[in-house]
Structure 1
Amino acid sequence: MSTVPEEFKYSAEHEWIGTTADAQVVRVGITDFAQDALGEVVYVEHPEVGASVAAGDVVGEVESTKSVSDIFAPVAGEIVAVNADLDENPGAVNSAPYAAGWLFEIKLAESAGTDSLLSAEDYKKQVG
């Protein structure tokens, strides 16, 4: 069974959303379930810092030894940071998907769409 931390919210597309020290900024990554399905991650294409995104927009890609998968913005806002450490260590997405393997941070728009995110319990039901 995949790890699904209770403190995060989740998108139907297998991204997690966690809080940061700034209440207006959330950290985003892919779930343990998603990284396991992808296999060994070998490259992460980051979104552009400063870009405005809508919930559901494709903002980057994760490439693994099995496939290439789109990364979606789970909420609307502005990309304010990317995890540049993944350039040298993309495997962190596999080894620590909820910690060192985070992908990017978004400053939430006024109508960010956080209400449509799944709780940990609902996400667990989705992935079985």
Structure 2
Amino acid sequence: GVGLGGMRMRFYGERVFTPTHEWIDKETGECGITKYALSKGEVVYLEMPEAGSVVQTGDEIGEVASVKSSSALIVPVGGTVTEVNSELEEDLTTLNAGANAESQSDSAWIYKLSPSDPLEFSDLMGEDEYGQFAAKLEDEES
């Protein structure tokens, strides 16, 4: 997904979402958390999984803590963690930038996953569906 600025937009169709506000890119296996989750407060602490971990759908493999709350990092589809974003160990700026992004999945990836069964992607939401889901939650909170 190399490209300048807006060029990356076309890859967004490859990103699918969980009801627990994670996204995964079907092409690259990159996983992150959504704009909705990031907009709840600046992330001050991130616990990431270890590369090489074999994980199941729904496993809690990390933690995301903001000044207001803390939530588990949930695995979107089962597989193997192949890489973690070491930049985030030093600096969470690129992650927190996602709170102001236009897209729900335009934030730094946290780890990469090699799915054991790509058919599991069909259980997840597309960008539009997740957008409606998040908007509904926003309404309920306000």
TM-score, normalising length: structure 1: 0.83
Instruction: Tell me how far apart the structure 2 counterparts of residues 81 and 35 of structure 1 sit (CA, whole Å).
Output: 22
8 Å contact from structure 1 (residues 42, 91) kept in 2: no
Look up the SS of the partner of 1:113 in the other structure.
helix
Partner of 1:89 in structure 2? 91
Partner of 2:32 in structure 1? 29
Give 1:66 deviation, angstroms: 1.1
**What percentage of residue pairs aligned between the two structures are identical?**
33
- 1:35 maps to amino acid: L
Of Structure 1 and Structure 2, which has the larger fraction of its residues in helix? 2
Instruction: Tell me how far apart the structure 2 counterparts of residues 33 and 7 of structure 1 sit (CA, whole Å).
Output: 19
Per-residue CA distance 1:13-42 (angstroms, 9 max, x = gap): 10111144xxxx5100000011001x1111
TM-score, normalising length: structure 2: 0.76
Cα 1:100–1:123, aligned 2, differ >3 Å: closer, same or farther? closer
Count of residue pairs the alignment pairs up: 119
**Higher CA-based Rg:** 2
Unaligned 5+ residue runs, structure 2?
Answer: 1-11, 100-104, 136-142
Per-residue CA distance 1:40-70 (angstroms, 9 max, x = gap): 1112101011111111110100111111110
Partner of 2:7 in structure 1? none
State yes or no: 1:12 paired with 2:15: no
Instruction: Tell me how far apart the structure 2 counterparts of residues 101 and 62 of structure 1 sit (CA, whole Å).
Output: 13
Unaligned 5+ residue runs, structure 1?
Answer: none
**CA RMSD of superposed structures (Å):** 1.8
8 Å contact from structure 1 (residues 76, 108) kept in 2: yes
Instruction: Tell me how far apart the structure 2 counterparts of residues 126 and 8 of structure 1 sit (CA, whole Å).
Output: 15
- 2:16 maps to amino acid: K
